[in-house]
Amino acid sequence: MEIQARAKINWTLDVVGRRADGYHLLDMLMQPLTLCDTLLIEPAEGLSLQIEGMDGLSAAEDNLILRAAKALREAAGVTVGASIRLTKRIPMGAGLGGGSADCAAALKGLNDFWQLGFDLEKLCVIGVCLGADVPFCLHDAPRRAQGIGEILSPIQSHVFPLVLVQPCKALSTKEVFSAYHQSAIVPPDTEKATLALAASDLRALKACAGNVLESASIPLRSQIAEAKEALYENGAAFAQMTGSGSVVFGAFETDEAADRSFHSLKSRYPVCFRTQTAL
């Protein structure tokens, strides 16, 4: 069985509170991309994971794919196995949800492969214990995500041409949130951004969307602001950091404009992708 694990972007990201256990309460508009990793699942007696396409990613017991497989087996009370091969394309430390997407794909794929019969709601209950973005990745469609990411509601969006650039190394999520708490931040207008997405109006989106972690990150990583400006200079109608970074995306009104931007920027940024949103 082969299954895709699609990356995501944040059109908005707002921090609206904090739980007693320290988890931040979020309000986000997110959408999957056509950029994806691929999981190939084959029969085996035990559980094993191989990774291709990217160095520096551990296939040890702490990998989210193996953790997902074990959590799924525990929930079902079974001891079945699988051999899993991950082909990695989504860059790490990017804010694109690659680890969560791989985890969600493992939950979905192994649920079918092992014929466990869990529905999406049950998979989300298992998934949120593994990562806050995993429920969104399980839904794999445009959603407003609230709470710590587990409260999901459908939103209307469209296919937008995108160029992604990764201008610098990642900071840890902890570092970014620490900087956020020391910054004066203007929050996005999530309601207006929802309407702008539904209307496919990137100009209106630019006026009301935002990512509060971007403002906190720029003093620590000036390359974020430089990449955003480069995307605007090359025709983006809307540009923003996704998640806690370090990828900055530009959304374009036409495929031709996105193609021109990609060809202009790919020599400047070694990690540069031409992709699009997915529904």
**Active-site residue set:** 8, 133
Tell me the CA distances in angstroms from 99 to 31, 35, 137, 248, one per residue in order.
Answer: 16, 13, 10, 18
CA 166 to mean position of chain CA atoms: 14
β pairing state of 210-211 and 2-18: parallel
Cα–Cα distance for residue pair 70/62, rounded to 1 Å: 11
Query: 278, 262, 247: which is closest to 142 by C-alpha?
Result: 278
226: tokens are 């430089």
Q: In 3-state terms, what secondary structure has residue 24? A: strand
Tell me the CA distances in angstroms from 154 to 29, 148, 151, one per residue in order.
Answer: 10, 17, 10
Tell me the CA distances in angstroms from 57 to 48, 107, 171, 199, 243, one per residue in order.
Answer: 15, 19, 17, 39, 20
193: tokens are 């951004």
Amino acid 240 reads Q
Cα–Cα distance for residue pair 203/190, rounded to 1 Å: 15
Cα–Cα distance for residue pair 108/72, rounded to 1 Å: 10
Helix 120-128 with 64-76: angle, nearest 10 deg: 120
Q: In 3-state terms, what secondary structure has residue 99? A: helix
Amino acid 156 reads Q
